[in-house]
Structure 1
Amino acid sequence: MPRGALSAIGAAAVLSIALTSCSSSSGPATSTGETGKSGGPLVVGVTSDPDTLFPWKATQFTAVNVLQNIYGTLTEFDKDLNVVPGLAESWQASEDGKKLILTLRKGVTFGDGSAFDSKDVKASLEKIMDEKTAAVARASLASVKSVEAPDENTVVLELTGPDAALPANLATVNMAMLSSDDTEEKLNATPNGTGPFTLGKRVPSQSLTLARNDKYWGAEKPKVASVEFRVIPDESSIVSAMQSGNVQLAVFNDPLVAQTAQGGGTITVTKTPQLSYHALQLNAQHGDLKDVNVRLAIQCAIDRKQVLDTAALGEGEVTGPITAPAFKSDPAKRPCPQRDLAKAAEYLGKAGKSGGLTVKAIVSQGEYATSVNEAQNLKAQLSEAKINLDLEVLESGAFVDRWVAADFDAAVALNGGRPDPDGSYGRYFTSKGNLNKVAGYSSPELDKLFAEGKATTDPAARKAIYEKVSAELEANAPWIWLFTSYTYTGTTSNVSGFVPMVSGSLQYLRTTSVG
C-alpha cells in the first residue's frame, strides 16, 4: 500500500471520527444520473456463498458485502472514509462526552413495509450489547451504559465517558438496525432491512439475488433493478464468465488473475489499496503458543516480503498491526523487522524447544485467492527454523466456524481493517472484548491503552496511544502481521458508477448502472 496513496483519506478520517456533532440531509455521496434508472440486472461474480444472512454475526467477506446492501446503519462511511449520516441524520455529544443524542430520519421503512423508529434502535443496540446475542461488534458498545428513546425520532446513548471511536463503529453492518419485531431465525431466512436492496431469490451455493428497494430513504435510488451474486468458486472462471457476458462485475484478490482479465481488452480493472491485512494468527491460549518466546521465534523466522512476493506477486506492502492511514503502524518497529533465524533459534532455546515443535494451522480455501500460497510459503520458511506448520485447508464456511470458536492453534487469515483502530482491535485484544477468545491474548496494559484511545478526541494524542498499542502487540506476537494488498475490481464495458473502496465495501452497488 503506497504510503502517499491514502494520505488525504487519513486526514479526513481522523477528523471525522471524533465524538462531535454531525448533520446532513443525505448519506454517502452518490454519482450523478437519473434517479432509479434500471438498466439491469447486474451480475456480480463471487467465489463463495454467504455463510449467514444475520448481520450481527457476519464475518465472512461475501456475507458482509451482501448484507451491507440490505441493511442500514446509524452512521455510514463515504468513499473517502468520512463518517456521514445514515439512519441517524445528525448526532450531538454532550459537553462532558457522557451522552450522545442521535436524531433519526423520518419516513424510513423496513423491507416488509413497517416503519423504522427509535424503538428499533433501542432494541437493536440493547440486543447487540447482550452477551447472549453473540454479536461480533458487542465490544464496540462497551462505553454505552444505557439506550433511551424519549420520542420516536430521538435516541440517547448514556456513556461511561467520551468515546471517540463510537460514530465510526456504528457504521459497520455488524451494527445494522433491525426491526424490534424480528428474530435471528426469521432474518436468516428472510432479511428485513432499510438498505437500498431487499432479498429477491436465493439458490444455496449457486446465487443470491437482491431486488431494488424503491422505498429506500436515500436521495438517489439504486439504478439497477437487481443484483445477483453468482457463486463461481475460481477467480479465473469468473474472468471467463465476464468475457462471455454472463457476469458484469467482480472483485479479484489474485493479481495474476487481474492481469489476465485486463489483458483481454473487454474488462476494465481498477486497482485499490486495502485496509485489510494478511496475518498468521497465533492462539496464545493453546499449547506451546502460550510461551511468548515461541511466538517471537515464529515472528523472527518469517520474511514477510517473501510471503508477499510469493502469494501476491509483491502487490502490496509489509505491515504492522494498524493499517488505518491516520494511525498506521511502522513495521520496522518490531522485535525482528527482518528475518533472523539466529534470533528465532535463541527464542526457541529460551522456550526449551531447541529441537523444534509443531503448530497446527487452519487455512481458508475459496474466500480469497492467496490463502493457500501464503500458507505454503509460511510452512516452508518456518521449517528452516525447526517449526513445522501443519496445515489444514478448509472451505470458507468451515474455516469461519472454527475461527469464531477459536478452535485452532494458528490461522492463516485475511482480516478486514477499519478507519479507527478501536473498531479494528478493541473487540480482539481487550480482556472483555467479545472476540478476545479468537485473539487469544490480552493484557492490563492493552486494556488501559484501548480505554485511553476511546476517551481521547485529540487526533495527535490518539495516534500516540495507538502507537503504544502496536508496540505492545508486536512485542508479544499474539499474531504475526504480514502484509496489506490490493483488490482488483473488474467491470465490463457496459457498467458504470461503481466506486471501489479501501475498506473493501461494495456499498456503491447502489450507484452502479448497466447500460
Structure 2
Amino acid sequence: MTINRRDLVKIAGAGSVALAAGSSVGPGVSAQEAGTSELIIGKSAEAVGYDPALVTATSSIEFLAVVYERLVTFDEEGQPQPALAESWESPDELTYIFTLRQGVTFHDGKAMTADDVKFTFDRIKDEATASSWATQFAPVDTIESDGDRTVTFQLSSPYGPFLATLSSAYSSIVPMTDEPIDFVRTMVGTGAYQLESATADVETILTRHGSYWEPATPVLDQLTYRILPDEASRLAAVRTGDVHLTTLADPVSVDSAGTSEGVVVLEQETTDYYLHGFNCQRAPFDDKAVRQALSKAIDRQAIVEAVFFGKGHVTGPIVPTLGDWAQPVEQLPNYEVDTEGASALLEEAGQSGLTFRILVGTLYPEFVNIALVVQDQLEAIGVTAELEQVEWGTFIERWLARDFDAFVSFNGSGNDPDRALYPAFYTDASVNAFQFSNEEVDRLLDAGRTTADRATRQATYQQVEVEIADAAPAIFVSTRVAYFATRDNVSGFTPTAAQTWETLKNTSVS
C-alpha cells in the first residue's frame, strides 16, 4: 500500500477538516462586532509558559514576539538591524559594545537600562535558571553595564552567530526588579502589547503598551487570542467572522479557506522544518546503521506530495530557505531512496522485522500525517512503526524527558545555521532531544561558531550537513510552509520566513 494525498484526506475524515460552521469560539463579541480597535486571533494552542529563557514551544513564542523585544532584529535579506539597541560596535572579534535606545519602558512603567540587559543574559547563563538555550551563550564570558545605555559583551572566543543569537526569542529583554518576577506565569516586556489577562485554555488578552517607544505603534488597542485547538473550529470561526486571523496546517483546510467569501489565505515558506527524530540512546536507534536504514527507506518528496500537496521543499539539516548556507539534498548521504540497501543494513544489524513507536502530538495534523506516510513506507522494508498519538502537553512532557523511541515534530532554524544545528545536535546541548553525540559533528559545530568569516563558516556547515545526514539522528523531511487565514479587512499582517508575529504591531482592521 502507498499512502497518497487522497488517502490522507480520507483518513482525516470529518474530524480534522470538517467545517463546523456552528462551533462556539468562546467568550466576548465576534470579530465583526469588535470594531477597528481589536484583532481577534484563533490560536491553536495555549502557551506552555512565558519565560523567554525556558520556552521551546511555538505556542509560547507567538506571545513573546509581541510582548518582548530583543537587542537586534534581522531584515528579509538576513542583515542585522537595530531594535532595543540603536547601535553597536565590535572593535575586535571578542568585544561587542551596544548603545541602547532611549525612551524605552517596560510594561510596569520602569525605564529599560543596561542593568536589565545584563540581568537578562546573566540569568540565561545561570545554571540555576536551567535555560533551554544556555549553550547558545557559552562563548559569552562577561556582560558589563556602563551607565544606563551601554552594555559590553566580552566573548571567550570569536562567535560568528552572536548577533543572530541576540535576535532570537529566548534573548528577549526582561526587567531586573527588587522582587522576583515569575516569568513562567506572567510577561513584563517592552513590546508593543502587554499582558492584560489570561484564562487558561480559553482566552488571552493583550492590550496596547501606551508608552511604546516607536511612534504611532501599535495600531490596535487590543489583541484577543481565543484558544481553538481544533483546526475545523478555527477555520469555521474565520469564515463566519468570529475571528479575524488564524493559522492553518492541513492543506485541505487551506484549500477550503481559499474559496471562502471574505477570507484571504497567506502562505510563507519558513526556516522551520519537519523531521522524524530518533532517540539515539535507546535501542535499536543507538545503532547508526539502523537509523541509516530507515533514512534510506523514506521517500521525502512523496511525503511532501501526500501531506503538503507539494508545498515546501525537501530539506537537509540546513533548510534551503537559509539560502546558500544549505547545499542541495541530492549531495547528502542516505537521501536517495534505496529499500534494498535499507533492508541489507537492517539484516546486518540484526533488526529485520523491527517494531518501534512514533510519538506524535495530535495538535498538529501534519505531524500525524507525516507519521502515517512514514509508517506506510517502512512496511516496504519489513519495519512496523506504531503511532502513539498524545495531546500536546503530554508530547512536550515526554519530549523533554526523552521518553520516546522516535517522534515527529518541527524544528526552528532562525536566521543562522548555528541556531539550527548547535542546540539540537551538539553533544549534551540544551535541546538535543535526540541525545545524539558525534565527535566530528561537535568539532565542526565548534569551528562554525568560532569564526566570523562567512565563507569559512559556509564551507564548515556544508561539511556538518554531510556528517549529520550520514549519522541520521533524524529523518529531515521538508521545510514548513505556514498558512494564515484572515478576514479581508485585516491589513499589515505580513508573514516572513523567520519572523511573523512581530508584524502584529503594524496590523490593523478596517
When the two structures are superposed, what TM-score results if normalisation uses the length of structure 2? 0.89
How far 1:359 sits from its partner (Å)?
2.0
Residues 448-485 of structure 1 show CA distances to partners (whole Å, capped at 9, x for unaligned) of: 21222112223222111110010010010011101113
SS at match of 2:463: helix
How far 1:104 sits from its partner (Å)?
1.2
Cα contact 2:494–2:500 (8 A) shared by 1: no
User: Counterpart in 1 of 2:144?
Assistant: 148
How far 1:329 sits from its partner (Å)?
3.3
Structure 1 residues 410, 183: closer, same or farther in 2, change over 3 A? farther
Cα contact 2:427–2:435 (8 A) shared by 1: no
Q: Distance in 1 between matches of 2:473 and 2:465?
A: 11
Residues 106-137 of structure 1 show CA distances to partners (whole Å, capped at 9, x for unaligned) of: 22111111121111111111111122312122
How far 1:508 sits from its partner (Å)?
0.2
User: Counterpart in 2 of 1:391?
Assistant: 387
Partner residue of 1:46 out of 43, 48, 52? 43
Output the amino acid matched with 2:331: K
User: Counterpart in 2 of 1:25?
Assistant: none
After superposing the two structures, state which structure 1 stretch, 258-267 or 427-436, moved more. Answer: 427-436
Consecutive unaligned residues in structure 2, runs of 5 or more: 1-34
User: Counterpart in 2 of 1:255?
Assistant: 251
Q: Distance in 2 between matches of 1:77 and 1:490?
A: 25
Is 1:491 matched with 2:486? yes
Partner residue of 1:195 out of 178, 191, 195? 191
After superposing the two structures, state which structure 1 stretch, 399-408 or 113-122, moved more. Answer: 399-408
Q: Distance in 1 between matches of 2:185 and 2:192?
A: 19
Is 1:61 matched with 2:73? no
Structure 1 residues 455, 488: closer, same or farther in 2, change over 3 A? same
After superposing the two structures, state which structure 1 stretch, 278-287 or 236-245, moved more. Answer: 236-245
How far 1:353 sits from its partner (Å)?
1.6
Cα contact 1:242–1:248 (8 A) shared by 2: yes
Q: Counterparts of 1:232-271 in structure 2 under 5 Å?
A: 232-271=228-267
Q: Distance in 2 between matches of 1:348 and 1:372?
A: 25
User: Counterpart in 2 of 1:456?
Assistant: 451
Partner residue of 1:327 out of 325, 328, 332? 325
Structure 1 residues 451, 196: closer, same or farther in 2, change over 3 A? same
Structure 1 residues 81, 216: closer, same or farther in 2, change over 3 A? farther
How far 1:393 sits from its partner (Å)?
1.0
Residues 135-189 of structure 1 show CA distances to partners (whole Å, capped at 9, x for unaligned) of: 1221111110111112221111111122120101111111111112288862233
Partner residue of 2:344 out of 343, 346, 350? 346
User: Counterpart in 2 of 1:28?
Assistant: none
Cα contact 1:325–1:419 (8 A) shared by 2: no
Q: Distance in 2 between matches of 1:184 and 1:101?
A: 28
How far 1:336 sits from its partner (Å)?
2.8
How far 1:505 sits from its partner (Å)?
2.7
Structure 1 residues 459, 182: closer, same or farther in 2, change over 3 A? farther
Is 1:514 matched with 2:503? no
After superposing the two structures, state which structure 1 stretch, 153-162 or 397-406, moved more. Answer: 397-406
Is 1:400 matched with 2:396? yes
Structure 1 residues 286, 293: closer, same or farther in 2, change over 3 A? same
SS at match of 1:288: coil
Partner residue of 1:365 out of 362, 366, 375? 362
Is 1:415 matched with 2:411? yes
Cα contact 1:72–1:87 (8 A) shared by 2: yes
User: Counterpart in 1 of 2:88?
Assistant: 91
SS at match of 1:121: helix
Is 1:205 matched with 2:201? yes
User: Counterpart in 1 of 2:462?
Assistant: 467
Structure 1 residues 142, 299: closer, same or farther in 2, change over 3 A? same
How far 1:81 sits from its partner (Å)?
4.0
Instruction: Note the aligned Cα RMSD (angstroms).
Output: 1.7
Output the amino acid matched with 1:424: A
Output the amino acid matched with 1:46: K
Is 1:433 matched with 2:403? no
Is 1:116 matched with 2:112? yes
Output the amino acid matched with 2:326: K
Percent identity (aligned): 32
When the two structures are superposed, what TM-score results if normalisation uses the length of structure 1? 0.89
Residues 53-103 of structure 1 show CA distances to partners (whole Å, capped at 9, x for unaligned) of: 2122222112101111111111123344432112111111122x1111111
Structure 1 residues 411, 287: closer, same or farther in 2, change over 3 A? same
User: Counterpart in 1 of 2:214?
Assistant: 218
After superposing the two structures, state which structure 1 stretch, 486-495 or 194-203, moved more. Answer: 486-495
How far 1:405 sits from its partner (Å)?
2.3
Cα contact 2:304–2:311 (8 A) shared by 1: yes
SS at match of 2:121: helix
**Size of the alignment, in residue pairs?**
474
Cα contact 1:192–1:198 (8 A) shared by 2: yes
Output the amino acid matched with 2:303: V
User: Counterpart in 1 of 2:16?
Assistant: none
Q: Distance in 1 between matches of 2:281 and 2:258?
A: 45
Q: Distance in 1 between matches of 2:366 and 2:180?
A: 33
User: Counterpart in 2 of 1:479?
Assistant: 474
SS at match of 2:331: coil
User: Counterpart in 1 of 2:182?
Assistant: 186
Output the amino acid matched with 1:174: Y
User: Counterpart in 1 of 2:97?
Assistant: 101
User: Counterpart in 1 of 2:298?
Assistant: 302
User: Counterpart in 2 of 1:170?
Assistant: 166
Output the amino acid matched with 1:481: F
Q: Distance in 1 between matches of 2:180 and 2:70?
A: 17
User: Counterpart in 1 of 2:276?
Assistant: 280
Cα contact 2:295–2:335 (8 A) shared by 1: no
Residues 286-340 of structure 1 show CA distances to partners (whole Å, capped at 9, x for unaligned) of: 1111100010011011111122222112211111110122312321123332221
Cα contact 1:135–1:174 (8 A) shared by 2: no
Cα contact 2:49–2:185 (8 A) shared by 1: no
Cα contact 1:363–1:394 (8 A) shared by 2: yes
Cα contact 1:319–1:329 (8 A) shared by 2: no
How far 1:228 sits from its partner (Å)?
1.1
Output the amino acid matched with 1:93: S
Q: Distance in 2 between matches of 1:238 and 1:112?
A: 33
SS at match of 2:53: helix
How far 1:220 sits from its partner (Å)?
3.9
User: Counterpart in 2 of 1:230?
Assistant: 226
Residues 201-222 of structure 1 show CA distances to partners (whole Å, capped at 9, x for unaligned) of: 2111111111011211224411
